Structure formats: C-alpha cells, structure tokens
Amino acid sequence: MVVRFQVAVSLDGFLAGPDQSTQNPLGVGGEGLHAWLVELDVWRRLQGESGGVTNASSPVVEEAQSNVGAYVMGRNMFGGGPGPWTDDPPWTGWWGDDPPYHAPVFVLTHHPREPLPMQGGTTFHFVTEGAGVALARAKEAAGDQDVMIGGGAKAIQQYLAAGQVDSFELHITPVTLRAGERLLEDVGDLRLEQIRAIGAPGVTHVKYRVVR
C-alpha cells in the first residue's frame, strides 16, 4: 500500500485559479486544467457517460484510478461551504448520487457529521480528530490497496509536510493561472525522485517518489 495523490496543475504551479466558489470550484480559469481529461473515453465512462477519445493519457488515468482502497480529502474539496453542516438541504458533495470514488472517503472537517453513504460504494466519513487520524482510518479501510489524498491543496500540503506521502503524479498542463492555490508551498524540504514522464495531447504526466 502506498499513500499517493495525483492532480492537474497549471504550468505556473497552481491547483486552482483565484475566486473559487460553489459555481466555480476550480476558480477562474481552473477548468482549463482538466481540458485534456474531460475529452477522454476512460474519464467519461467513470462519469457514466460514453464517447470521448483514447490517447496516451488513457492508461495513465486508468492506472491512477485503480487499486485505490480509500480516499482522504479536505473540507473545501468536499464542498458545502465553511462552518457547521446544515440540513437545508444537506450538502452531499459535487458529484451527484453516485460519486466517482466507489470506496470510503475520509473528509477532514472541524464539524462532526454522521457518515454519508452514497450509491456505487462511496461512503463519506467526516473526521474531526485531525489529518493523522483521517489517514490512519483510511489506511485501515484500504487494507492492501492504496490511499489516495484527493485534495485540495491544503490537505495535500499537510500530508507532504508531515512526510506521509509516498508518491504522486502531476498532470502538468499548458495553462497559466497567475494566481490561486499553489500546490508546492508550505510542504517543507521535499526530496523527490522522478519515476516516469509521459507526454500526451495537451498534458505531461510526471510521477515522483518522495525520498525519505
């Protein structure tokens, strides 16, 4: 089992553009980070759709999505605004009734909430005891499979800084956002080794191992 993450980044290092909102969760210009992804057949099938293309990105996405036994994500990634959870109506994430996780998802939050089972095997668990506890619970749930840190930037940075990430893959896009949330900031003194790089239409996939 490894603890890993994979994210699309702009060439100037941002995970999301400025002015993130419920309508615009990746911020201004941030949707460009996923232009290479949303046209893929493998991605459309994950959303229950069809059509789309197959190219050098397809096996990368398939590999990244496979063997994941549990997820950890930050509160902003799950959404529903800051502060206590409300029931009017209850926020159940950005992804509809059948989220593309199909595994337990541990959401970092300061506000307790009952577990939220969704269709397709996804259950959101809300963890108020901190990032360490969330990761321990995700590892236990994942068994032999990997734990994926789903995002956002703060959650990833927290686990990188704590030395708890084994490897990660960046999908480096030819987008410049100029402002927003940077990925590699406040992550401490990181020693990395490049595992592989794959060029694909509109994106370069590079995988790194964290050296301890």
Residues making contact with a second copy (CB under 8 A): 11-13, 170, 172, 174-176, 178, 182, 184-185, 187, 189-190, 192-194, 196-204, 206, 208
Q: Within a 13 Å sphere around the CA of 97, how many CA atoms are in the beta-carbon half?
A: 2
The answer to whether residues 78 and 101 touch, using CB atoms and an 8 Å cutoff, is no
User: How far apart are CB 157 and a second copy at their closest, in Å?
Assistant: 12
DSSP for 20-58, written as a single string: --SS-TT-TTGGGGGHHHHTBHHHHHHTT----B--THH
User: How far apart are CB 182 and a second copy at their closest, in Å?
Assistant: 8
**Closer by beta carbon to a second copy, 33 or else 141:** 33
**Closer by beta carbon to a second copy, 142 or else 149:** 149
The answer to whether residues 104 and 181 touch, using CB atoms and an 8 Å cutoff, is no
DSSP for 90-129, written as a single string: BP--SS-SS-TT-SEEEEE-SS----EE-GGG-EEEEE-S
**Closer by beta carbon to a second copy, 100 or else 199:** 199
User: How far apart are CB 195 and a second copy at their closest, in Å?
Assistant: 9
Task: Show the CA angle centred on residue 99, arms to residues 93 and 103, nearest 5°.
Answer: 110
**Closer by beta carbon to a second copy, 36 or else 106:** 36
For residue 96, the one-letter residue type is: G
Chain centre distance of CA 87: 26
Which 3 state secondary structure label does DSSP give 164? coil
**Closer by beta carbon to a second copy, 35 or else 46:** 35
User: How far apart are CB 150 and a second copy at their closest, in Å?
Assistant: 21
What are 85's two structure tokens?
Answer: 């959870």
**Closer by beta carbon to a second copy, 142 or else 153:** 153
Chain centre distance of CA 146: 13
User: How far apart are CB 6 and a second copy at their closest, in Å?
Assistant: 15
User: How far apart are CB 176 and a second copy at their closest, in Å?
Assistant: 5
